[in-house]
A = this chain, B = another copy of it.
Amino acid sequence: MRLTRYFLPVLKENPAEAHIVSHRLMLRAGLVQQQTAGIYAWLPLGFRVLKKIEAIVRDEQERAGSIEILMPTIQSADLWERSGRYQEYGKEMLRIQDRHERDLLYGPTNEEMVTSIFSSAARSYRDLPRNLFHIQWKFRDEVRPRFGVMRGREFLMKDGYSFDIDAESGRRSYRRMFVSYLRTFERMGLRAIPMAAQTGPIGGDLSHEFSILAETGESQIFCHRDLMEMSMPGDDIDYDSDLKPIVERWTKPYARADDEHDPAVFESEVAPNDRLEARGIEVGHVFFFGSKYSEPLEATVSTPEGRSVPLQSGSYGIGVSRLVGAIIEAYHDDAGIIWPESIAPFQVGLVNLGPDKPECVECCESLYAQLNNAGIETLFDDTSENPGVKLSRMELIGLPWQLRIGPRSLKKGVGEIQARRTGENTEVPVDNLVERINTLLGRVSA
């Protein structure tokens, strides 16, 4: 993408309304723009990151056997009245009346609807187990929306729902999601710590939240340091196998957020050197709630013996739009964002430092064509702005690799590759630049 044809409205000043670094950087780097309290438009660069995160979430959901659907944002109040949550949910639910004065609401979550959809078609144990997920915008009418997309009102969430014949099978489905969540966050460069959690308005008796560590986290986390080092299930994970050992390994070390923390247990179970205390940001949450929704909604299936039993379910959420903020909280420096490669909006920023020099223009145009042909996502700063502006903008938006072409180095026949994360600079002969970038990106050489 050529910057002269793109829409990247970076801000020079720190926006006054942004109190945490991710919010500040998202506004400054032109990722989002607030439209009204807690409601954001995603600008081109932010949209690309959102889509990258979504793609990883989708991929890992499918790997774990979940099936994608898409439920609407607007729901009828009826189902929620049947589950009892219509009144219970309080003012966070955005209530709406249509032109015929029927009660609607903007879905904050979808347990009722998905239970109704699934049970309208599932008849027996033969239709189970299943896990349906969707990635859809939700609305929670927060009293005081803040921290940018971290606590917005309209937010993008992956929510998945499992359906099983009995609680034992339901817990197997729960473990499948538990394991897939570990992998999902790891692929975004995040170490998410699973912690036993309260079930709140979703209900049920089994729940874990997944939090990443970041200075500006909303809660205090106490855990065993081992959790930061434990190895992840690999690509070859078999989700049909017994996942109990993996879940036990990950839930054995002490890990709790402040609301569940017990200092006495922490101190008795974890040696002083192994104690980790840090701020945490919740990025995912899994629940097993059995028949909490299937009973009031009369969502039953028949067992092999011909008995009719309510579905056993869990729900599984990942805050897709929130993750954009959470990742920035975890990866930034004074100059700006430092995107992990897997979710960077572009892999490479190509910077022409001599836009008025024909040899620089020619070299950059050739490199840009080569990078595109190699399928490397490149943002090409082909503007005529001065080098200082260009370089600090590239730092701010945080692409993993910068490829700089300037008149001085070009005379030596080289360009510079800079790694955003380390700041390391390498001079590379112009003819080898694309191959080197390919190698750095861990791809097969072009």
A154 adjacent to chain B (CB < 8 Å): yes
The interface residues of chain B lying within 8 Å CB-to-CB of A9 are 120-121
Q: Is the CB of A117 within 8 A of B69?
A: no
> Complex formed: what's the CA distance from A94 to B99 in Å?
8
Q: Decide if B6 touches A41 in the complex (CB within 8 Å).
A: no
In angstroms, how far is the closest chain B Cβ from the Cβ of A177?
A: 16
Q: Is A309 an interface residue (CB 8 A)?
A: no
Per-residue contact bits, chain A 137-149, to B (CB 8 Å; 1 contact, 0 not) = 1010101000000
Q: Which residues of B contact A137 (CB under 8 A)?
A: 72-73, 137
Asked if A265 is at the interface of the complex by the 8 Å CB criterion, the answer is no
Tell me which residues across on chain B come within 8 A of A293, comparing CB atoms.
Answer: none
Selected interface stretch from A32-40, A203-211, A297-305: A32-40
Q: How far is the CA of A228 from the CA of B121 in the complex (A)?
A: 42
With beta carbons under 8 angstroms apart, the residue of B68, B76, B121 that contacts A47 is B68
Closest Cβ of chain B to A60, distance in Å, is: 17
Interface range, A side: 35 or more
Within 8 A of B (CB), among A81-118: 91, 94, 96, 98-99, 102, 104, 106, 113, 117-118
Question: A7 — which chain B residues lie within 8 A by C-beta?
Answer: 67, 69, 118, 121, 130, 132
Interchain CA distance A145-B117 in the complex, whole Å: 21
Question: In the bound complex, do residue A99 and residue B143 qualify as a contact, i.e. CB atoms below 8 Å apart?
Answer: yes
Residue-wise, chain A 7-46 has the 8 Å CB interface mask toward B (1 for contact) of 1010000000000000000000010010111011111100
Q: Is there an interface contact between B130 and A71, defined as CB atoms closer than 8 Å?
A: no
Q: Is the beta-carbon distance between B6 and A72 smaller than 8 angstroms?
A: no
**Interface flag for A389 (CB, 8 Å):** no
CA distance A50 to B94 in the complex (A): 27
Specify which chain B residues have a CB less than 8 angstroms from the CB of A94 in the assembled complex: 74, 96, 98
Structural contact, B74 and A154, CB atoms closer than 8 A: yes
Known: A69-B47, A118-B7. A104 touches B42 (CB 8 A): no
Interface residue A264 (Cβ < 8 Å from any Cβ of B): no
Determine the chain B residues whose CB is within 8 A of the CB of A141 once the complex forms. Answer: 98-99
Task: State in angstroms the CA–CA spacing of A76 and B30 once bound together.
Answer: 21
Interface assignment of A70: CB less than 8 Å from any CB of chain B = yes
Closest B residue to A116 by CB, please name it.
Answer: B35
User: Among B6, B35, B50, B117, which residue has its beta carbon within 8 angstroms of that of A71?
Assistant: B35
Contact of A39 among B41, B72, B139, B154 (CB under 8 A): B72
Task: Give which listed residue, B35, B75, B91, contacts A36 with CB less than 8 A.
Answer: B75
Contact status A70-B41, CB under 8 Å? yes
Given contacts A65-B5, A98-B141, A132-B7, contact A35 B121 (CB under 8 A): no
Q: A7-B69, A36-B76 are in contact. List 4 more A-B contacts (CB 8 A).
A: A39-B74, A41-B71, A50-B70, A96-B106
What are 15 A-B contacts defined by CB distance under 8 Å?
A: A7-B130, A36-B76, A36-B102, A41-B113, A41-B117, A42-B71, A47-B68, A47-B69, A47-B70, A50-B70, A72-B154, A74-B154, A99-B141, A99-B143, A137-B137
